[in-house]
């Protein structure tokens, strides 16, 4: 029988995370402060604990995963690698399609892979409380769960429009004991300023970051956590690709192409980087491997952004980082893949794209839901709208194989289930979902506000 679900044992949960910084041709560009100089680690010590900062700056190839973290990972890891045989048959493609399914975690996505170690390292460093922001609620629920595992109180600033539209993500966070506030809130200067300018401000991820960072910076016992973008988050997510490699070894296959949805880049880095390590090590199987980050055409950071220094948030509280960006004050259209509405991207993913080691692709919203429904009808799992971007790309690649007759092995990252996103599916079914034009003018305007460097 064709292996359809390639399982591993609990002892196969990786013992070390993989850090791609060790395999970069050029060192990463350092984050810069307001004076244009690299930010010293101490300066970030106000919002991040020591062990996380060490990982953020590390160039070590392998970093040990604490046993306490592996114990929590074991609640859902190793995550399954599945062959989408019924989808292949529906498409009539000679390609083999595999997906790594991260929706089996308690929060329903890949995000707890980093939330758990972030909570753990904060706990051992003596942090008393965590703050964070959340857009659609995926990261907020992951850090609420992780905080609960280690007895750390969590405060979440949730983008107001999601707070109102996604009450069940909020209830999930509350179930795991977190406090949740709609952002902009009255609790911070950033929030109060936004409300003073516009009492109906619906919030944005960049603004919620400003609130969570401001609170952490002001209180010595409070630290901030971020669910994507930063090096340590991509490091933690490498468990995805490390497991997938073991699973492919088990069946004697190797992917020709990997697709992952890309918002801040953490799940894409997580699945792709361990395979890029093979390439760096001269593994023949990886010579022609393509890794493709898939993003929405309405928030086309990697495909239309500038590779430049920019802030991570709207208010300019964060250090500036070299990354692909649409400008920190760009407000993306209200697409339903909330996790992909970010103006910037991971500096590591950005650098690899800039150096030509990975590729990027943008896909329109309606086509992603078409792909998600086709996938659900063949394979059963209802994907998160973010994940639908990778599915669209994987299906298109499989359809190309049908024309060329190539029996490629395609891997994509199924980053989460869509059980909390059914309102978006409803919109799709009722024909109310829109394809937004590429917001060229708005992007051009916000790119004028990039910080000047050097």
Ligand X SMILES: *Cc1c(COP(=O)(O)O)cnc(C)c1O
- Which of these segments, 80-88, 191-199, 352-360, 381-389, binds ligand X (CB under 6 A)? 381-389
Return d(Cα 388, Cα 369) in angstroms, integer: 6
Q: Does 339 bind ligand X (CB under 6 A)?
A: yes
| Binders in 401-420 for ligand X, by CB under 6 A | 415-416
Least Å from the CB of residue 234 to ligand X:
8
Nearer to ligand X, 169 or 322 (CB): 169
Beta bridge pairs of residue 174: none
- Which of these segments, 54-62, 359-367, 380-388, 423-431, binds ligand X (CB under 6 A)? 380-388
Structure tokens at 385: 């709208």
Nearer to ligand X, 172 or 401 (CB): 172
Nearer to ligand X, 386 or 397 (CB): 386
Burial 100-113 (b: 16+ CB within 10 A, else e): bbbbbbbbbbbbbb
Residues in the chain: 454
With CB under 6 A as the contact rule, the residue among 73, 386, 397, 443 that binds ligand X is 386
Total binding residues for ligand X by CB under 6 A?
Answer: 19
Helix or strand run (H / E) with residue 290: strand 290-296
Least Å from the CB of residue 405 to ligand X:
32
Q: What backbone torsions phi and psi does residue 370 show, to the nearest 5 degrees?
A: -55, -45
Nearest in space to 243 (alpha carbons), one of 372, 413, 370, 385: 413
Nearer to ligand X, 111 or 408 (CB): 111
Nearer to ligand X, 256 or 386 (CB): 386
Nearer to ligand X, 148 or 228 (CB): 228
Q: Does 109 bind ligand X (CB under 6 A)?
A: yes
Quick count: other Cβ atoms within 10 Å of Cβ 404? 10
Q: Does 372 bind ligand X (CB under 6 A)?
A: no
Return d(Cα 353, Cα 449) in angstroms, integer: 23
Q: Does 188 bind ligand X (CB under 6 A)?
A: no
C-alpha angle 382/386/387, rounded to 5°? 55
Q: DSSP secondary-structure letter at 326? A: S
Nearer to ligand X, 314 or 340 (CB): 340
Q: Does 144 bind ligand X (CB under 6 A)?
A: no
Nearer to ligand X, 112 or 194 (CB): 112
Do 291 and 297 touch, CB atoms closer than 8 A? no
Do 302 and 295 touch, CB atoms closer than 8 A? yes
Q: Does 222 bind ligand X (CB under 6 A)?
A: no
Place of tokens 């909020």: 170
| Binders in 226-265 for ligand X, by CB under 6 A | 228, 261-265
Return d(Cα 248, Cα 255) in angstroms, integer: 8
Q: Does 114 bind ligand X (CB under 6 A)?
A: no
**At 176, is the secondary structure helix, strand, or coil?**
coil
Q: Does 19 bind ligand X (CB under 6 A)?
A: no
Binding interface with ligand X (CB under 6 A): 109, 111, 138, 228, 261-268, 339-340, 384, 386-387, 415-416
């Amino acid at each position: 029988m064709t292996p359809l679900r390639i399982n591993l044992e609990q002892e196969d949960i990786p013992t070390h995370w993989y850090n791609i910084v060790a395999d970069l041709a050029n060192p990463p560009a350092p984050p810069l402060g307001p004076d244009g100089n690299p930010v010293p680690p101490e300066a970030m010590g106000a919002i991040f604990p020591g062990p996380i900062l060490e990982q953020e700056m590390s160039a070590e190839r392998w970093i040990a995963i604490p046993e306490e973290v592996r114990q929590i990972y074991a609640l859902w890891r190793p995550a399954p690698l599945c062959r989408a045989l019924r989808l292949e048959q529906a498409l009539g493609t000679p390609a083999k399609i595999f997906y790594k399914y991260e929706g089996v975690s308690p929060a329903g996505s890949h995000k707890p892979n980093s939330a758990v170690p972030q909570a753990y390292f904060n706990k051992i460093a003596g942090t008393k409380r965590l703050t964070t922001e959340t857009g659609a609620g995926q990261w907020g629920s992951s850090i609420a769960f992780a905080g609960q595992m280690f007895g750390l109180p969590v405060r979440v600033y949730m983008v107001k429009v999601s707070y109102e539209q996604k009450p069940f993500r909020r209830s999930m966070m509350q179930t795991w004991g977190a406090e949740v506030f709609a952002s902009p809130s009255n609790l911070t200067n950033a929030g109060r300023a936004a409300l003073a300018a516009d009492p109906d401000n619906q919030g944005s991820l960049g603004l919620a970051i400003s609130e969570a960072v401001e609170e952490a910076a002001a209180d010595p016992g409070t630290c901030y956590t971020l669910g994507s973008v930063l090096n340590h988050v991509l490091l933690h997510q490498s468990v995805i690709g490390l497991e997938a490699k073991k699973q492919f070894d088990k069946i004697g296959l190797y992917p020709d192409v990997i697709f992952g949805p890309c918002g801040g880049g953490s799940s894409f880095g997580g699945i792709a980087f361990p395979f890029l390590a093979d390439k760096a090590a001269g593994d023949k199987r990886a010579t022609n491997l393509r890794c493709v980050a898939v993003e929405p055409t309405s928030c086309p950071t990697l495909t239309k952004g500038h590779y430049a220094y920019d802030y991570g948030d709207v208010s300019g509280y964060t250090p500036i980082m070299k990354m692909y960006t649409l400008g920190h004050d760009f407000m993306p259209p209200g697409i339903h893949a909330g996790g992909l509405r970010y103006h910037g991207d991971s500096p590591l993913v950005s650098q690899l794209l800039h150096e030509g080691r990975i590729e990027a692709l943008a896909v329109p919203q309606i086509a992603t839901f078409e792909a998600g429904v086709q996938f659900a009808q063949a394979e059963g799992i209802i994907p998160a709208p973010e994940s639908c971007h990778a599915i669209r790309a994987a299906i298109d690649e499989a359809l190309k194989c049908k024309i060329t007759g190539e029996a490629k092995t395609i891997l994509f990252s199924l980053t989460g289930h869509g059980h909390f996103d059914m309102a978006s599916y409803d919109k799709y079914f009722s024909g109310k979902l829109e394809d937004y034009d590429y917001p060229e003018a708005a992007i051009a305007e916000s790119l004028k506000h990039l910080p000047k460097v050097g």
